[in-house]
């Protein structure tokens, strides 16, 4: 099983929308699901469900139902994150998702967050009860080499950090832009 | 600088509300801020600001203004995450926060998410403009030994995983409860 130090994993992770034609090993999927399961949540309510989708027809259909998620169609696997009467569904769900994304990256797998879809059809396709909320669908697969080499574009640290109060500059820090 | 493999970091991380009386090294703070800066966000808008708070009086006051965040008072440092006209503020902010939490844990530092506070007073104290949103305040510090040894309580994997459709059991997986 591949391994990577935590900060290196955070630094190197890239959004991945093109996947190699290889299946996701069972051990890697286990790590992804465990990373979600072990996440923190409001009052430890763990208000999540993870639907693992490997059926090629379902993946293709999901890609077609997600305007920003066409790449689901080309992924060997996706995990739908469903929130179950959560008090802070987006915060709890996104923290679990980020754990899963990093565990996946350590195992060599990439993904890209899906933010919109045909709500009625997708919930019906996945059998999600009406009173539960679909947070996202994360497609997972091994990235193409080209994707991984892409430069990460971010604001410099000085533009987003403050000391004690908003707009007071934080001294002694500089990062690569 | 301490290091830890990613999945191990996710697995071992604990909520920390009691901190040792040691300051946060500059290099560790740098890692925390970089982990936030390098996070993914909707359309890479990076709609966040990080206010680093080390002033003892400010930390004490923040603890008093946060019903679930009294432990800020005892932390050597806190980072307030402020969202700047984000389309998905909770999702983008929570993913950045989770990156910061894991980078901190790798460096030996713990935190616990703060979910409520006196909005008007805290924003005034930190000089946050009215049109920006405070997502959370994360206190950081070295955890007491007792906290780290606590068992992590989570639902078993079988209760939260599904195959292809909701309520269809996922075969071949089992985790320690």
Helices marked H in A26-88:
26-37, 56-64
Check residues B177 and B92 and name the one with the higher pLDDT: B92
Percent of chain A with pLDDT over 90: 90
Residue A177: band (very low, low, confident or very high) from pLDDT cuts 50, 70, 90: very low
State which residue of chain A sits closest to B135, comparing Cα positions: A91
Alpha helices (H) in chain B, listed in sequence order: 6-12, 26-37, 56-64, 89-106, 119-126, 145-149, 157-160
What band does A145 get if pLDDT is binned at 50, 70 and 90? confident
Joined tokens for residue A1: 């099983």
**3-state SS, residue B139:** strand
Considering only residues 118 to 177 of chain B, which have any Cβ-Cβ distance to chain A shorter than 8 Å? 126-129, 132, 152-155, 157, 160-168, 170, 172-173, 175
Residue indicated by tokens 């432990």: B71
Q: With contact defined as beta carbons under 8 Å apart, do B164 and A41 qualify?
A: no
Mean pLDDT of A152-169: 96
- pTM for the full model? 0.96
Distance CA B123, CA B78 (A): 15
Query: What is the rounded CA–CA span in Å between residue B120 and residue B52?
Result: 19
How confident is the model over A57-70, as a mean pLDDT? 97
Residue A147 predicted with pLDDT over 80 = no
Say if residues A166 and B48 touch (Cβ distance below 8 Å).
Answer: no
- Please state, in angstroms and rounded to a whole number, the distance separating the CA atoms of residues A166 and B127: 5
Question: pLDDT by residue (tens digit) across A83-111?
Answer: 999 999 999 999 999 999 999 999 999 99
Confirm or reject contact between A28 and chain B (CB < 8 A). Answer: no
Once rounded to an integer, what is the mean pLDDT over residues A137-166? 91
pLDDT at position B177, please?
A: 46
| CA triple B146-B152-B154, angle to 5 deg | 160
**What domains sit in chain A, N to C, each tagged with a CATH number?**
6-160 (3.40.109.10)
Mean pLDDT of the region B33-47: 98
**Which CA distances in Å does A59 have to A18, A32, B85?**
14, 18, 33
């Amino acid at each position: 099983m591949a391994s990577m130090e935590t900060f290196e994993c955070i630094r190197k992770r890239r959004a991945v929308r093109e996947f190699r034609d290889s299946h996701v090993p069972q051990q890697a999927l286990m790590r992804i699901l465990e990373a979600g399961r072990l996440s923190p949540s409001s009052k430890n309510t763990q208000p999540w469900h993870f639907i693992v989708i490997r059926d090629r027809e379902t993946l293709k259909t999901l890609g077609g139902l997600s305007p920003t998620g066409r790449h689901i169609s080309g992924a060997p696997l996706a995990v739908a994150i469903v929130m179950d009467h959560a008090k802070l569904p987006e915060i709890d769900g996104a923290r679990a998702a980020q754990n899963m994304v990093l565990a996946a990256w350590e195992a060599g797998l990439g993904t890209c967050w899906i933010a919109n879809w045909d709500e009625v059809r997708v919930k019906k396709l996945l059998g999600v009860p009406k009173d539960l909320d679909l947070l996202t669908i994360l497609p997972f697969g091994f990235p193409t080499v080209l994707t991984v080499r892409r430069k990460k574009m971010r604001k410099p640290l000085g533009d987003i950090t403050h000391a004690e109060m908003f707009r007071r500059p934080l001294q002694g820090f500089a990062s690569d832009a």
